[in-house]
Amino acid sequence: MIETVLGVLEWFTQWSDPLAWLVVATFAAGALLDWYDLHRDIARTVTVAAWVLFGFFWFTQIYHFAFVQKSIVEGIGTLIAVPGCLYVAVLLRRGRDSLFVLSRAVAVMGAVFLPFEAILVLQEFLIEMVTRQTEFLMSLLGYQPAVIPGSAINPDYESFRNTFVFHPEPGYRITYTIIIACTGVGSMAIFVGLIAAVRAPIRRKFRALAVSIPVIYALNLVRNVFIGLSFGEMKMQLVPELTASVFAFDLATDPGLVSYYWADRILAQSGSVLALVAITWLVVRELPEVLIVIEDLLYMATGSEYDLRGALGVAPVRADGE
């Protein structure tokens, strides 16, 4: 029974890429109809459909994050995202117009992120730039691992100079590869989307971008250095037997994976969540209009209304974010 369920989940992953483009296009259509006040009823219908498709998209990602990536944070997040998207669709259909702001944000997020996910030349530029900067920071700490092209993770990366090579023990070789997920572009897209979605003076939007995007980029480099050195030098060999059991890998064959899962899947990903919360606070100080999105998220999580803008003394805005 379990094998059948996993087989079905794996089969659905093949639809994730084309579905992602369809989701972004549908969100964009709804956002344009709403932003320019062309037809609110049609905008509502299109955007509701976008959220339903978005829920299905996250369903196609469950197998990847939970069983391929073996990510606790991303796996749980994906499971929450499926019913969450459907709940947004229901609320928007029932007339919660403030959710148009969140919907516009998703449209912009997708428009920023998907080209880097799909266009190889953009991936190569960003991945190799982040690799060089990560290499430089490692050298400042006294580590100079070899950096080679090619990756078994993705055959498209064969010509990319993006893989660090470590030899923590005689005869044992560890490679750490920078992929598109290691560049921070996903997190940066989230904040670009949030900032672009609200109706506010462009000057304050640029200030919000200035306190978020550079911080995310810098913290992401620190994250790469931390994971790379912790994994490559096997610095986090914590409860190896339990770690191998939880993440289902052969401890005898790949003992270094203990450090990888602790550094990346547990510590770095948990730290990333906390960092995003802190960066959101910085953005709110410059652009309090984004609180309308946070209020909606709190309502969906708790079922209670919150007036964060009133509590912080922010001037009220229209339900649609104006």
Judge whether 188 and 217 are in contact, CB under 8 Å: yes
Greatest alpha-carbon span in the chain: 67
pLDDT tens-digit readout, 229-238: 999 999 999 9
44 is catalytic: no
Read off the DSSP letter of residue 105: H
What count of other Cβ atoms lies within 10 Å of the Cβ of residue 37?
9
Between CA 131 and CA 180 the distance in angstroms is: 11
- DSSP annotation of 155: G
Query: What is the per-residue pLDDT across 154-193, written as a single tens digit (0 to 9) for each?
Result: 677 778 999 999 999 888 999 999 999 999 999 999 999 9
Query: Tokens standing for 111?
Result: 């428009």
Task: Dig out the tokens for 151 from the structure.
Answer: 């990756």
Residue closest to 115 by CA, chosen among 185, 196, 194: 185
pTM of the model: 0.88
What is the model's pLDDT at position 153? 62
Taking only the tens place, the pLDDT of each residue in 106-162 is: 999 999 999 998 899 999 999 999 999 999 999 999 999 999 997 666 677 778 999
149: which strand partners?
161
Q: How far is CA 253 from CA 153, 172, 174, 256, in A?
A: 18, 10, 12, 9
Which one of 44, 85, 104, 223 is the catalytic residue?
A: 223
Give me 187's structure tokens: 């997190």
User: Is 182 a catalytic site residue?
Assistant: yes
* Active-site residue identified among 85, 182, 265, 309: 182
Paired tokens of 137 = 């920071």
